Amino acid sequence: MIIIMHDNAKKEEISAVEEKLTKFGFLTHPIYGEKKTVIGAIGDKRQISMNEILLMSGVEKVVPIMRPYKLASKELKQEKSVIDVGYGVTIGGKKLAVFAGPCAVEGREHFLKMSRLVKDAGANILRGGAFKPRTSPYSFGGLEGEGLKIMREAGDELGMPICTEVMDTRDVELVAEYADIIQIGARNMQNFKLLREVGKCNKPIFLKRGLASTIEEWLMAAEYIMSEGNDRVILCERGIRTYETSTRNTFDVSAIPVTQELTHLPIIADPSHATGNYKYVGAVAKAGIAAGADGIMVEVHDCPECAASDGPQSLKPDKFTELMEELRRIAAAIGREI
């Protein structure tokens, strides 16, 4: 349920409502607005009468949340979340986020080189895989801890946040030590133990949509993270598996406006994994921004044919620079900026 407090509600009144709800087993999430304070309460509504809360001092009204995802729902928070990811970069505001870099961290010199190139082109967040979930057990699986150190060095040198994936609950603490943003990949979207574990750490979580997940399942995955106390969740549409074989996945552009209607969480478009082919990345990136995405994630490599991972979908640096110029024009046309 949502408890909406009066404009002039005192801190003691807000605390009293929270204490009452906690006593009956509810998890409370206060949201402090400019005028009103709203308290999200997650728990069994049968344990307490809504009228009992309504009669408390400072309470204006009590509204039930109808969506199965509570904390991620716009019913709880109408105002869009803007998430600070470090180095002065935010996701969800007027300025678009651009995550860029090679699919996998292949070595120190190469990653530093690519990081400098994508920053020069306008990217404001570095992406790269230190732990790589691969379909084949014989494919390159990442540099793991060494890869994290390389990413951190690049991020510190360039003043850019770094985003990288965690695959196992046992590695969450290690990844959180180095990363500014922790990614949950598509294959782990419903790894509920992992979702709960990252929900306990104080880092923004980049949640990719599962290979064949509905939007509701995706938002329920976000709810797992948020229910552990971490409300800094960023969604990522990266395409879903359909009967189509022309592309690696099918990019669901409609997921962008649909999620923005349902949730206050920001959403990023990933045209690289959606298409699996560098030839289509630019068009899909532009479609994502035009549809209202809060940014894009693009894989960039100077020698895609020799990349350790996902070379066919990686843009060369000059093509990425061209794409950024085109995206700036689209962003300006819809009142955003890069």
Look at residues 31, 63, 95 and tell me which one is the last residue of a structural domain.
Answer: 63
Domain count of the fold of the chain? 2
Q: Residue 40: which of 76, 74, 72 has the closest Cα?
A: 76
So what's the pLDDT on residue 47?
77
Domain match, 264 and 326 both: yes
So what's the pLDDT on residue 137?
78
Domain match, 227 and 194 both: yes
Domain match, 45 and 146 both: no
Residue 280 in domain? yes
pTM for the predicted model, two decimal places: 0.90
> Distance between CA 220 and CA 74 in Å, rounded?
13
Q: How far is CA 10 from CA 27, 53, 165, in A?
A: 21, 16, 42
Residue 283 in domain? yes
CATH number of the domain where residue 233 is located: 3.20.20.70
Residue environment code for 227-241, b if the CB has 16+ CB neighbours within 10 A, otherwise e = bbebbbbbbbbbbbe
CATH number of the domain where residue 21 is located: 3.30.70.1140
Domain match, 208 and 309 both: yes
Q: How far is CA 183 from CA 56, 176, 179, 202, in A?
A: 41, 10, 9, 13
Spans of the chain, pLDDT less than 50: none
Domain match, 51 and 111 both: no
**DSSP-assigned beta bridge partners for residue 126:** 100, 162
Domain match, 36 and 97 both: no
In the three-class reduction of DSSP (H, G, I as helix; E, B as strand; rest coil), residue 205 is classed as: strand
Q: Residue 320: which of 130, 162, 115, 131 has the closest Cα?
A: 115
Q: Do residues 263 and 235 make contact, with C-beta atoms less than 8 angstroms apart?
A: yes
End-to-end CA distance of the chain: 38
Domain match, 48 and 124 both: no
Q: At what angle do helices 317-333 and 108-121 cross, to 10 degrees?
A: 30
> Distance between CA 108 and CA 147 in Å, rounded?
8
Residue 272 in domain? yes
> Phi/psi of residue 319, each to 5°?
-70, -35
Residue 70 in domain? no
- Convert the pLDDT of each residue in 133-178 to its tens digit: 767 776 777 788 999 999 999 999 999 999 999 999 999 999 999 9
So what's the pLDDT on residue 184?
98
Domain match, 58 and 160 both: no
Q: Identify the domain containing residue 37 by its residue range.
A: 2-63
In the three-class reduction of DSSP (H, G, I as helix; E, B as strand; rest coil), residue 89 is classed as: strand
- Convert the pLDDT of each residue in 55-92 to its tens digit: 999 999 998 888 899 999 999 898 999 999 999 999 99
Residue 69 in domain? no
Residue 75 in domain? no
**DSSP-assigned beta bridge partners for residue 27:** 42
Domain match, 6 and 58 both: yes
Residue 76 in domain? no
Domain match, 89 and 21 both: no
**Strands of the 59-63 sheet, one edge to the other:** 27-32, 37-42, 2-5, 59-63
Q: Do residues 234 and 268 make contact, with C-beta atoms less than 8 angstroms apart?
A: yes
Residue 154 in domain? yes
Domain match, 18 and 95 both: no
Domain match, 265 and 222 both: yes
